Amino acid sequence: MSQVVQKCVKKIAVLGVGIMGTAIARNLQKNGFSVSVWNRTYEKAKALTEFGISVYEQVENAVDDADIILTMLKDGNAVLESMNLALPSLSKDTIWIQASTVGIAANERLEAFAAENGLKYFDAPVQGTKGPAEQGKLIIIASGPLLDRDLVQPVFDVIGQRTVWVSEQSGVSSKLKLALNSWVFALTHGIAESLSIAEAMGVNPSLVIDVLKDGPMDNMYFQLKSAAIMSGNYETSFSLDNAIKDAELVVDASKRAGVKVDGVEAGLERFKRAQKVGYGHKDMIATYFAK
């Protein structure tokens, strides 16, 4: 265990242990933190006891005596509901790392909740999906009070390969995450459409990959997602259902900002078409099946 962890943080509670939260909790436990977790579906969390992690059915028990709360839940409503349930067991000045992608309006509500209840709030969504989360190689997009950064940095160092400190002002990180998601969606749909166009015209889609390989338009994401399509492996790294939720957040934020996002709006409709034919629970590259 590092001296920083010993000195600053005794216990961390992770609320929400889906694909991302599970990986985060396990990495924290492996690196010397005392980790407790809570999930809205208790049965999905029980397996974490095998790794020495304390799993609780009631959120107030999970956060009891925690130095840091980390939320990784589906959306802003789920985060706020969970924190309201946890509130009786929270002490003033408890640090709250809000790592879910919730958008601008929800982040404002969560920040207000933190202020009303004396919590130290860090707006810290992450860039990355299942693989980087399991490897502790997420990119942390962090905003929060300068004076308390030394307390949360050890957490970020364990779950991420890099922390980008964006602002002392909460909300800036959530805005940046939406801009980044726009780029991720553009790449995702571009890969899926390119391969599906080739296939529809009777050209082997693998030739698209061969032409792009090692060229200026090649990248790791293209290789991973194109390989998933070619192998028919749509195991969820980031679900299409969640992509729809996040794309809707991008569209809403862009309207607030007065900017047109034609690509994101078209991509959102494409995601919905793939969802309609039964791929919502699969990885978002299943946009390949949009008809």
Phi-psi domain of 171 (left: phi exceeds 0; alpha: psi -120 through 50; beta: other): left
Q: Residue 9's pLDDT is what?
A: 60
Per-residue pLDDT of the chain (291 residues; tens, 9 = 90+): 444 444 456 899 999 999 999 999 999 999 999 999 999 999 999 999 999 999 999 999 999 999 999 999 999 999 999 999 999 999 999 999 999 999 999 999 999 999 999 999 999 999 999 999 999 999 999 999 999 999 999 999 999 999 999 999 999 999 999 999 999 999 999 999 999 999 999 999 999 999 999 999 999 999 999 999 999 999 999 999 999 999 999 999 999 999 999 999 999 999 999 999 999 999 999 999 998
Query: Bridge-partner residues for 123, per DSSP?
Result: 98, 143
Residue 193 and residue 83: Cα distance in Å, rounded?
40
Residue 93 and residue 23: Cα distance in Å, rounded?
26
Crossing angle of the two packed helices 240-257 and 172-200, in degrees rounded to 10: 120
3-state SS, residue 98: strand
State the burial class of residue 118 (Cβ atoms within 10 Å of its Cβ: 0-12, 13-18, 19+).
Answer: exposed
Give the long-range contacts of residues 187-190, CB within 8 A, separation 24 or more. Answer: 187/221, 187/222, 187/225, 188/225, 188/243, 188/267, 188/284, 188/285, 188/287, 189/263, 189/266, 189/267, 189/270, 189/287
User: Is 51 within 8 Å of 29 (Cβ atoms)?
Assistant: yes
**Is the pTM here over 0.75, yes or no?**
yes
Annotated active-site residue in 120, 130, 175, 177: 177
User: Is 48 within 8 Å of 54 (Cβ atoms)?
Assistant: no
Q: Indicate if 213 belongs to the active site.
A: no
Nearest C-alpha neighbor of 112 from the set 96, 90, 130: 96
Q: Residue 8's pLDDT is what?
A: 55
| Secondary structure E strands in the chain | 11-15, 34-38, 54-56, 68-71, 95-98, 120-123, 126-127, 138-143, 160-167
Instruction: For each of the domains in the chain, give its residue range(s) and CATH number, in order of start.
Output: 11-167 (3.40.50.720), 175-289 (1.10.1040.10)
Q: Residue 291's pLDDT is what?
A: 83
The alpha carbons of the chain give a radius of gyration, in whole angstroms, of 20
Residue 48: both structure tokens together: 């974490």
